[in-house]
Amino acid sequence: MTFEIDGLTKAARQPDEQMTVYELADGSLFPVAGPPRLADASYAAETHEAARIVREALGQLASVEARRREAKADPTLSPVGRAQRVEEMRRLARVGLEMARAELAKARDGAVRLKEAVFAPPRLGESDLAAALIDQEIRAHVRSLRGQDLVRYTSGLADNPRHLAAIMRSPVPITGVSEYAQGLWRDTAAGHPQAAGLIRTEAAIAWAEGVLPHIAERI
Domain boundaries, the chain: 9-119+195-218, 129-189
Helix axes 48-73, 195-218, angle to 10 degrees: 10
**In the structure, what pLDDT confidence band is assigned to residue 142 with cuts at 50, 70 and 90?**
very high
Residue partners of 125: CB distance under 8 A and separation at least 6: none
pTM attached to this predicted model: 0.70
The per-residue DSSP string of 140-166 comes to HHHHH--HHHHHHHHHTGGG-HHHHHH
pLDDT digit string, tens, across residues 28-74: 999 998 888 776 666 777 788 898 999 999 999 999 999 999 999 99
Q: What is the largest CA-CA distance in the chain?
A: 88
Tell me the pLDDT tens digit for each residue of 164-203. 989 988 988 888 888 888 888 888 777 777 777 888 888 8
